[in-house]
Amino acid sequence: MKYYIIAGEASGDLHGANLMKALYKQDTDATIRFWGGDLMKAVGGTLVKHYNERAFMGFYEVISNLGKILKMISFCKKDIAEFNPDVIIFIDNSGFNLRIAKWAKQQGFRTNYYISPQVWASRAGRVKDIKRDIDAMFVILPFEKEFYKKYNYEVYFVGHPLIDEIADRNQVDEADFRNQHNLGTKNIIALLPGSRKQEITKMVKIMLSVVDDFEDYQFVIAGAPSQTPQFYSSFITNKNVTFINNKTYDLLSISYAAIVTSGTATLETALYKVPQVVCYKTSFISYQIAKRIITLKFISLVNLIMDKEVVVELIQNDLTKNNLKKELHKILNPSSRDKIFNNYYELEQKLGGKGASLKTAKLIVEKLK
């Protein structure tokens, strides 16, 4: 059967790659065409567009690139029509995907969604569109099933794919890793500034502002696979700062603490049991818009799933050097760390067991048959 998958940004590429592997196991004759990244490309199939080409973050940034986005939407529709898939699988990335889904449903294509748009965070009215345009929704957060139930829309909770991704990785030899990257013997504070250029530029500067106050630690920037090492080099001016490209999980597995830009990375950091401070800052205009439509108490997935503050969130004006320094000191303190670890173990239990990608692939293929 023919599958058309649309994923955006690094996390979508990761989950899309694992889903593709599972689809090939369930359907040995599968033909897959996709929008994604390097991880999906490595699995097989045909890459149509890399997510780097449409990595716009924030309301203002999307509006200012609207012409480019509309051209991509038009191209995507044409490409789907020519490929004529048995099913279209959307992964997160709601701004783009829900527009394609509306058209696809009108054209008679079967539509599946893996990793729900965050309609529980803002603009819940989009559930009406999802019910109309999506034949089956596969969710990965435990509270999403109950959320959709309120709108009489039955969805499938398949567990979180990060559980598999982390459990299936080979354990890193810390001594070898440190030697390979010249990390010395100091405890490591990992910096995860995001995956998009504008996001990284904004976040990494404030993250690095505290380096001189923690001379007993080695700071390591986790480079996103979508960016070049040369891009990061301009930010590194301190001997206590190192850059490691495309090895985020290996780095987290040996880190003592982390400073993390809000997003999937907060959950990845928690599953590796690394105490963290969550940061987020966007343009003034984008923040003012977001503040008026987002109804959540928290922005990090860790706190949202636990429904309480497990990790501190420094958002917009609260993200200052002094605040970051203070909160980093706290998570380096043994008494604070014990409480964080206990919450992390509880979080992992809530996320369900292994097999999210395989469960989703089985359901998709069974429904097609």
Q: What is the CATH number of the domain that holds 229?
A: 3.40.50.2000
Identify any residues that bridge with 156 across adjacent strands, giving them in sequence order.
138
Query: Looking at the structure, do residues 248 and 333 belong to the same domain, yes or no?
Result: yes
Q: How confident is the model at residue 148 (pLDDT cuts 50, 70, 90)?
A: very high
Residue 226 CA to residue 224 CA, distance in Å, equals 5
Residue with tokens 């301009």: 234
User: What was the pLDDT predicted at 69?
Assistant: 77
Judge residue 89's burial from the number of C-beta atoms within 10 Å of its C-beta, 0-12 exposed, 13-18 middle, 19 or more buried: buried
Question: In this predicted structure, what is the pLDDT of residue 288?
Answer: 59
**Model pLDDT, residue 167:** 84
Looking at residue 140, what is its pLDDT?
94
Judge if 325 and 186 occupy the same domain.
yes
pLDDT at 296 over 80: no
Single-letter residue type at 158: V
pLDDT at position 238: 85
Please indicate, yes or no, whether residues 188 and 316 belong to a single structural domain of this protein: yes
DSSP assigned state of 171: P
User: Alpha-carbon torsion 168, 171, 176, 180, what sign?
Assistant: positive
* pLDDT at site 286: 61
When divided into structural domains, the chain yields a total of 2
Is residue 12 located within the same domain as residue 114?
Answer: yes
Is 243 in contact with 221 (CB distance < 8 Å)?
yes
Mean pLDDT over each residue of the chain, to the nearest integer:
90
Which of 123-127, 151-155, 217-221 bottoms out in mean pLDDT, i.e. has the lowest?
Answer: 123-127
Q: What pLDDT shows up at residue 54?
A: 65
The pLDDT assigned to 95 comes to: 84
Q: What is the pTM of this model?
A: 0.79
- For helices 334-350 and 264-271, give the axis angle rounded to 10 degrees: 110
pLDDT of residue 114 exceeding 90: yes
pLDDT digits over 242-287, tens only? 999 989 999 999 999 999 998 889 999 999 999 999 998 866 566 5
Residues 338 and 359 in one domain: no
The answer on 333 and 299 residing in a single domain is yes
Give yes or no for a contact between 298 and 304, defined as CB atoms under 8 angstroms apart: yes
Least confident of 17-21, 50-54, 62-66: 62-66
Please give the average per-residue pLDDT across 160-189, as a whole number.
92
**% of the chain exceeding 70 in pLDDT:** 92
* Average pLDDT over every residue of 9-24: 92
What is the span of the domain harbouring residue 12?
Answer: 2-160+354-368
